[in-house]
Amino acid sequence: MNYSQKVLEHFVNPRNSGEMENPDAVGVSGSEKCGDITRIYLNIKNNIISEAKFQTFGCCAAIATSSVTTELLQGKTIEQAMQLTESDIVQALDGLPPDKMHCPAVAEQAVKSALSDYQAKHAKKGKLL
Ligand code: FES
């Protein structure tokens, strides 16, 4: 399989991997195609993602896409993070082999799930005030 240098580099040296203590939001996504699962943790301060971490059970591309996604998220507003697409992730990795093109969808959906989690918690807090 022909992986780009960037994919291999993120696979061998993943950024921001591991569980986050006291995250502001958590999102999970999995692929029905292969069974791989990604969990994304976010810390959000003043509408900006100050920290993102991941845990992934999956293939080389799943780990690399999760890793680069946490890098892409840092410093983004919630609105900007909502706009993150699979093709942004693929581009950041200098491409993926054709049979790995479903892998970034897992990362993208985990981000969307985390942002929904944040918005749901936020809405709840707002109601309590
Ligand atoms: Fe399933 Fe990569 S093979 S996410």
Pocket test for ligand 1, best of 36, 56, 108 (most atoms within 8 A of CB): 36
- For the chain, the average pLDDT equals 95
Quick: pLDDT tens for 40-65: 999 999 999 999 999 999 999 999 99
Pocket test for ligand 1, best of 1, 3, 29, 31 (most atoms within 8 A of CB): 31
Q: Give the span between the Cα atoms of 128 and 57, in whole angstroms.
A: 36
Number of domains comprising the chain: 1
Query: Between these two residues, 33 and 84, which has the higher pLDDT value?
Result: 84
Angle between helical axes of 103-128 and 60-73 (0-180°, round to 10): 40
Backbone angles phi, psi at 52, to 5 degrees: -135, 135
Evaluate whether residue 128 is within a structural domain.
no
Question: Which CATH number does the domain housing residue 18 bear?
Answer: 3.90.1010.10
Residue range(s) defining the domain that contains residue 15: 5-122
Evaluate whether residue 78 is within a structural domain.
yes
At 122 the pLDDT is: 84
Task: Assess contact for 64 and 94: CB atoms under 8 A.
Answer: no
Evaluate whether residue 127 is within a structural domain.
no
**Per the residue annotation, which of 42, 61, 63, 103 is the catalytic one?**
103
Ligand 1 centroid from CA 9, angstroms: 17
Ligand 1 centroid from CA 100, angstroms: 6
Ligand 1 centroid from CA 104, angstroms: 8
Quick: pLDDT tens for 92-126: 999 999 999 999 999 999 999 999 999 999 877 76
Evaluate whether residue 73 is within a structural domain.
yes
Evaluate whether residue 57 is within a structural domain.
yes
* Claim: this prediction has a pTM higher than 0.85: yes
Evaluate whether residue 129 is within a structural domain.
no
Residue 25 has pLDDT above 70, yes or no: yes
Evaluate whether residue 59 is within a structural domain.
yes
Q: Is 34 exposed, middle or buried (0-12, 13-18, 19+ CB in 10 A)?
A: middle
6 is written with which tokens? Answer: 């960037």
Task: Assess contact for 56 and 39: CB atoms under 8 A.
Answer: yes
Proportion of the chain above pLDDT 70, given as a percent: 97
Say whether 78 sits in a helix, a strand or coil: helix
| Rg from Cα positions in the chain | 14
